[in-house]
Each structure stands twice: as structure tokens, then as C-alpha cells.
Amino acid sequence: MTERILKMPRLGETMEEGKIVGFLINPGDSFRRGDSIIEIETDKTVAEFPALGDGTLNEWIGSIGDHVVVGAPLARIDIGNGPDWTEDGSESSSSPKEPVAPAPANAPGSQNNQVVTDLDMPRLGETMEEGRIVRWLKAAGDGFERGEAILEIETDKTVAEFPALVSGKLLEVLRAEGDMVSVGDAIARVEVAANSITQKIEVEMPAETAKEPTAVRSAKTLSHDQRTRATPLARRLARQKGIDINTLSGSGRRGRVEKEDILAASGNSAASADVNFVQLADGRVAYTDIGPENARVFVLLHGFSGDRTTWSNVASGLRRAGFRVVAPDFPAHGLTTINAANSDQLSAFLPAFLDALSIDKVDVVAHSLGAVAASVFALDHSDRVKTLTLIAPAGLGSEIDAGFISGMAQATTAGEITHLLRRISAKPVELSPALAAEFAATMAKGRLKELADAVVGSSVQRTDIISSLEKLSRSMPVRVLFGLQDRIIPWQQVTSLPPSIGVHFLAQSGHMPQWDQAKEVIDLVVNFAGGPND
């Protein structure tokens, strides 16, 4: 066995770290060069990363949701007797059997060592049939090293930089920026080492020509799965959970199977790395639960139109600090099937939810409208709440961006969602077209309309938690965090709080400090609560 460490790649010039979004293979699985093995979120996009060589996965290092610095370990892999493709594009000296391609700048073009071949449009996802060339990152005559980004491609799911799978030289660009190209069609002519041609350069040939078996990840073949329309994420989850996607009726447009359909079919499956479910009297609650089982517990409550995933950065940081972190989807939100017509109904599920998880006392962190639900729960069950941290809380004053609330509740298109989300963060919120469309489809179900009317009038807030917070501050530590660039709720509303409640301002944050300044939020929350075993 020749074990090597696979490191977090740099998928863009500005990328300093990446977030692990999903594992596409499991320990023990074999893979070939070009197979997508991990899904990574960068500062720009979310993309599947292809292996730059053959191997077998021994162990993932880290968990879904973790932020990993570029160059830090991601996995332990066995590369067998092949070349060491993990060392930033250079071959290992311990693998002399396969010669290293000469540096492109010095390549003589001799047919004894170098050959000219086509670089084809790669398949960057299971449903991808064509891609648009957004930008060439190399020009004709430029050399490139294995792992170096050559061009930027827009798929049906996202925009991603495509890394070279071998070292070489770009001779001729065959398709221009803006061109839509079918998977497998030539986009450039490149010069590469002759020995690399035997393994092909393209990421993945179209299914109808891919006759050679690839790594075993599922009992189902691509052609079999294609009988049913499904999103890429739904197909991946179905493989992970062993669900035959062709037996499902999709809830999406034209019967498309979506993530929610797979999760519903799986029930309360411990195999899901993304979400768990618990059945209560009024319906099913979706939640994430990470960290040591016996550690101190944080419950994270999201805001209006959000879900548990808005806490991914904070949850990961709290887990690294040794805490257990539980983040549910509120009623009328996400994958939770319980509905809510007013703010009181938002918190009604919490006691039974915590009981179902055998959790007694918790530290609560709540955002925006979630702060209203948190104050109701804490007031009615003060014996179960250790500390209360509210981020950009609603209910402190009358002023609010009512257009945002009503807009999200009534949104039906990706364009509406994209415009509205620009208001919530001090940093640009970039959703892929597919993700924006999926978000819009969720909002179009209309589950939030009644709740929106209950919490916001034509222009003012209809909730007031000031007196509740004053009472709570006598029995437990209460703290408020506000971004000074908040465009949804004015930070000046904290002046109505009693002096017993500490207030922290974050200068570089909008309405989502947990996105804009996640590290600062984590530090404040941890320092406020104390140790994970206190």
C-alpha cells in the first residue's frame, strides 16, 4: 500500500480555504482519474473536484461543513503503484516507472516525448450535457501544470474552474468564451506527454461512450438512473442511502425528484450526513446534530425564510470547540413538515423536539425572527436555557424592511430570490442559477405567507420582545449581536434594551453576521457560554 495525503486544492486565485459540502465516495471506494470525489464550496462557488489520478480512499479527514485551509489534509488515499499525483502536480520520486512530462515551457514538441491531442469539454456533474465557456485562464502558447486551472465553465448547476489533469501546453483554443459546448466535444488542442494519452485527458466521457467501468459507487448505472428526472444532489443522496430513484415520484417541476423527496423516502436515517428527522405529534422536524453526544448543547435557531444550513459555519466552529450543536428547521421552513401561522407557533415544537433528542438544558443562539421564538421558549422554559444569544433580533422596534419579508414570502422566481438576498449580507451572496431556482421553488409553495402577515404589517413589526428580554435577563445571561451594516433591521433598536443585556456590534456585518464575520460570532458565543463541559 502506498498511502498519500490528499490536500485541499486551490480552485481559484482568491481561494484561501474551502468548505467541505459533500463526500462523493466512501472509505474503501476506488476511483479513477477524473472521477468527482468531493464537493467543495469556495469563496466563489460550489464545485465537484475530480481526482487527478487513480487510487482508493482510505479515510476522509474532517467532516461535512468543515472549513479547510488550502494545502491542509482532506483525505488519506492509496495510490497503489501509480505515480504520486497528490504532490501539487509533480510525480513522486518513489514512482520511477512512469516518466514525468517535461515542463511545458521547455517541451521540444518531439513526437518521441510529446503528442498533440484534443482537450474535450469535461462532464462536471451527472446531469451535465453541455457547458458554457465563461473564461479561458490560459492563452495559446501557455504551459500548465497538472492541477492548475485552465478555464472557467458554467454548467447547469454552477460556475467552476476546471483544473488540468496532466501537465502540458495549450496550443490552440477551438471554442471561444461564451460558446455552449456539448460534453465530449473538443474545446482546445493541447500538447502533453505521450504516456498521459493512454489514460485520456477528459474528465468523463458521455454515458453512451463510457464502456469501461468506473469506480464502484452504486449498484445503479447512469443509464438506469436517467429513466427518472432528478437533480444532481438527489441522485447523490439516493446513491448514499441505497434508494432506487426510479421508484420515487418527484415533487419538483415536471415530476423531477429533488433532495426533499430522497430525504422523505429515507425517513429518520442515521446515514444522512446532512440532515436528521424526528417525528413529533404535529409533524416531522428536520435538523442537524453534530459534535460530541455528551457535551454541552447549543441550539441554533434560524431567521425568517432561512433553514438549518444558514448556521453551517457557526455550527462547524462550535463543534471544533468541543460543543454539541443542534440546528432545526423551524415550522413552515426547510424540510420540517409542521406549519406555523404566527411567531408563537414557531417555538411550540421546541420542548417536544428536545425531549425526543433526550436533551435537557441548552444554550440558545437565535437569529432575526428566530429570536422571537427563542424568547418565548426561554420565558416558558427558563429552567432549560443556560444562556441566550440573539443575533440581529426582531421585536426590538417597529422599523423593518417589510419589502424583504413580503418579497421572500411571495417569491416565485430565481430572479426575485437573487435580488432579495443581496440585502441580507455585507458580502455578495452568490447563488448558482440552479440553487436560486431551487430556493424559489421552495418559496413558491407559499408556506411563509401567513407567517409573514403575522409578524410584519404593511411597514412595521408586529412583535415586541423587549419586556420578555428584560425578565429573562434577571434569570439568565442574555446577549445581543448586531451588524452595523444591517439593511433589514436597524441596529439602533438595541437602545431600547435594558442595561442588563450586553450588546456587541460587528462593523463588517449586515443582517447575517454569522455569514459576514463567522469567526467573530463563534468567538463571542463560545466566550459567553464558557467551556463545552461546564
Domain 275-398+464-529, CATH class in plain words = alpha beta
For the entire predicted model, the pTM comes to 0.54
In the predicted model, is pLDDT for residue 436 greater than 90? Answer: no
Q: How far apart are CA 457 and CA 360, in angstroms?
A: 36
Contacts within 8 Å (CB) and 24+ apart, 93-97: 94/2
Q: Counting beta carbons within 10 angstroms of the beta carbon of residue 273, is it exposed (0 to 12), middle (13 to 18) or buried (19 or more)?
A: middle
AA letter at 334: G
In this structure, are strands 385-391 and 362-367 parallel, antiparallel, or unpaired?
Answer: parallel
In the predicted model, is pLDDT for residue 381 greater than 60? Answer: yes
Q: How confident is the model at residue 229, as a pLDDT?
A: 63
Q: Band the pLDDT of 50: cuts 50, 70, 90.
A: confident
Q: How far apart are CA 244 and CA 221, in angstroms?
A: 11
Q: Band the pLDDT of 299: cuts 50, 70, 90.
A: very high
Least confident of 75-79, 133-137, 155-159, 309-313: 155-159
AA letter at 405: I
Hey, which residues does 7 pair with through a beta bridge? 73
> One fold for both 218-273 and 275-398+464-529?
no
Least confident of 70-74, 230-234, 497-501: 230-234
Hey, which residues does 19 pair with through a beta bridge? 41, 67
In the predicted model, is pLDDT for residue 231 greater than 90? Answer: no
Q: How far apart are CA 48 and CA 432, in angstroms?
A: 14
In this structure, are strands 385-391 and 478-483 parallel, antiparallel, or unpaired?
Answer: parallel
Hey, which residues does 131 pair with through a beta bridge? 181
Please say whether the dihedral angle defined by the alpha carbons of residues 334, 336, 337 and 339, taken in this order, is positive or negative.
Answer: negative
Q: Where are the domains positioned within the chain?
A: 3-197, 218-273, 275-398+464-529
Q: How far apart are CA 171 and CA 150, in angstroms?
A: 12
Residue 127 near residue 183, CB atoms below 8 Å: no
State how far Cα 8 lies from the chain centre: 16
Q: CATH second-level architecture of 3-197?
A: Beta Barrel (2.40)
Q: Band the pLDDT of 248: cuts 50, 70, 90.
A: low
Q: Average pLDDT, stretch 199-208?
A: 38
- Most confident of the ranges 150-154, 220-224, 248-252, 496-500: 496-500
In the predicted model, is pLDDT for residue 13 greater than 80? Answer: no
Q: How far apart are CA 347 and CA 376, in angstroms?
A: 7
Q: CATH second-level architecture of 218-273?
A: Irregular (4.10)
In the predicted model, is pLDDT for residue 217 greater than 60? Answer: no
In the block, residue with C-alpha cell 471506494: 29
Q: Average pLDDT, stretch 257-264?
A: 66
Residue 143 near residue 169, CB atoms below 8 Å: yes
Q: Band the pLDDT of 498: cuts 50, 70, 90.
A: very high
pLDDT tens column, 320-333: 899 999 999 999 99
Q: How far apart are CA 401 and CA 57, in angstroms?
A: 49
| Residues 440-449 as b or e (16 or more Cβ within 10 Å = b) | bbbbeeebbe
